[in-house]
């Protein structure tokens, strides 16, 4: 009987944890736009260090200071898409240049 209940309990635990993580991410605004994501990131930067300090005092050990990272979520939200589209927009010109270089190389070989 216990052998049948254990897999169900494991699955229920995994689904609960995944559902809770998804709920928290949606509720805090992580799944929203860039402005919401930037706001959540600033709130997390303000909330995490005091919590870590409290736990360090509780357990009695010390962690090294975290590095300072300046990162703007709004500025880099779609930078990958923008770079891809930019590369695609110059692709015909680049292909033409490479083709001309290849033709010139072959002409130089046949001389």
- Quick count: other Cβ atoms within 10 Å of Cβ 41? 15
Q: Is the separation of the CB atoms in 34 and 73 below 8 Å? A: yes
pLDDT at 46 over 80: yes
What is the structure's pLDDT at 75? 66
pLDDT at 106 over 90: yes
Q: Which two tokens stand for residue 78?
A: 């779609």
pLDDT band at 77, cuts 50/70/90? Answer: low
pLDDT band at 74, cuts 50/70/90? Answer: low
pLDDT band at 8, cuts 50/70/90? Answer: very high
**Which residue did the predictor score with more confidence, 66 or 23?**
23
Q: Taking the model in full, what pTM does it have?
A: 0.42
What percent of the chain lies above the pLDDT cut of 90? 32
Question: Which of 6-15, 32-41, 52-61, 81-90 is predicted least confidently?
Answer: 32-41
> How is 46-75 classified by DSSP, letter by letter?
HHHHHHHHHHHHHHT--PPPPPP----TTT
Contacts of 33-36 spanning 24+ positions with Cβ under 8 A: 34/73, 34/74, 34/77, 35/74
Q: 29: which residues sit within 8 A by CB, 6+ positions away?
A: 36, 37, 39, 40
Mean pLDDT in the chain?
Answer: 84
Q: Is the separation of the CB atoms in 73 and 37 below 8 Å? A: yes
């Amino acid at each position: 009987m216990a052998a049948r209940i254990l897999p169900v309990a494991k699955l229920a635990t995994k689904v609960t944890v995944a559902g809770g993580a998804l709920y928290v991410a949606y509720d805090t605004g992580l799944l929203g736009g860039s402005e919401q994501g930037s706001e959540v990131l600033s709130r997390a930067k303000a909330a995490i260090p005091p919590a870590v300090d409290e736990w360090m005092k509780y357990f009695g050990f010390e962690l090294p200071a975290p590095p300072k990272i300046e990162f703007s979520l709004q500025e880099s939200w779609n930078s990958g898409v923008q770079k891809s589209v930019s590369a695609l927009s110059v692709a015909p010109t680049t292909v033409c240049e490479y083709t001309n270089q290849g033709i010139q190389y072959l002409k130089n070989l046949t001389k």
